[in-house]
């Protein structure tokens, strides 16, 4: 066999291995108690065998303030990542959190604060604004790179998981039961994504999330 051909064959078999590894994944489907899709549900997969693969690096992410709302409402990051909180409104905001996973404060400001905030502990960080009480958002700081949140159809596909045993759980800002009660053992194999489903009891939101419209009752 000539050398070029054997190199080509070696390259193709490498591609085959990579595509098989990439094929393993989880397809999560989350609904409320009535079976309606639950958006903004965070799905977390923790490998049972060995340490989580170091995929990518902690990053600098963004949570905007637009129209007196945090956007996105739920932000998912890996532990060690940082978030910048640019204010895109023409009023000042005062962003804070009292959550044990990260207590911080960005006193009244416009524009982008100079320093992003680093999240170095896993957990849930509830953020608010001192001026606009309805402004609430959540940051889910995950201990694993295998994490994502559902879209409006209540579905999230986690891709690129090494095949193996995982403890998989779900969190939603309005869930009644503790996050730990949702944990389930899942065997992820190469091939089609392994399905996992949850039906969550969700509380009605305690406070209206949208800013009141001009002329409507409510504070500004």
CA distance 218 to 201: 29
102 belongs to the binding site for Cu ion (CB under 5 A):
no
Q: Which stretch binds Cu ion (CB under 5 A): 8-16, 52-60, 118-126, 127-135?
A: 127-135
Nearest to 63 by CA among 87, 46, 41, 80: 87
CA distance 40 to 174: 10
Residue among 67 and 100 whose Cβ is closer to Cu ion = 67
131 belongs to the binding site for Cu ion (CB under 5 A):
yes
Q: Which stretch binds Cu ion (CB under 5 A): 26-34, 128-136, 170-178, 193-201?
A: 128-136
CA distance 123 to 164: 24
Asked if residue 141 lies in contact with residue 101, where contact means CB atoms within 8 angstroms, the answer is yes
Residue among 79 and 131 whose Cβ is closer to Cu ion = 131
Residues 6+ apart with CB under 8 A from 161: 24, 25, 26, 45, 47, 146, 188
Residue among 89 and 179 whose Cβ is closer to Cu ion = 89
Site map (CB under 5 A) of Cu ion, residues 61-100, x = contact:
--------------------------------x-------
163 belongs to the binding site for Cu ion (CB under 5 A):
no
129 belongs to the binding site for Cu ion (CB under 5 A):
yes
The residue ranges that bind Cu ion (CB under 5 A) are 93, 129, 131-132
């Amino acid at each position: 066999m000539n050398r070029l051909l054997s190199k080509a064959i070696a390259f193709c078999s490498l591609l085959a291995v990579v595509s098989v590894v990439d094929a393993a994944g989880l397809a999560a489907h989350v609904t409320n108690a009535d079976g309606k899709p639950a958006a903004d549900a965070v799905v977390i997969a923790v490998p049972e065998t060995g340490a989580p693969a170091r995929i990518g690096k902690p990053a600098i992410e963004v949570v905007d303030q637009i129209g007196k709302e945090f956007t996105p409402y739920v932000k998912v990051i890996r532990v060690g990542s940082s978030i910048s909180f640019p204010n895109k409104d023409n009023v000042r905001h005062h962003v804070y959190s009292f959550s044990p996973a990260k207590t911080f404060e960005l006193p009244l400001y416009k524009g982008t604060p100079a320093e992003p905030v680093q999240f170095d502990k896993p957990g849930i960080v509830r953020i608010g604004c001192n001026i606009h009480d309805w402004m609430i958002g959540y940051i889910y700081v995950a201990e694993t790179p295998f994490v994502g949140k559902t879209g409006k159809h209540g579905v999230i596909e986690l891709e690129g998981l090494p095949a193996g045993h995982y403890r998989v759980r779900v969190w939603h800002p309005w869930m009644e039961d503790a996050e730990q009660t949702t944990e389930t053992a899942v065997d992820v194999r190469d091939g089609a994504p392994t399905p996992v489903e949850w039906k969550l009891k969700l509380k009605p939101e305690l406070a209206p999330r949208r800013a009141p419209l001009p002329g409507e009752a409510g504070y500004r």
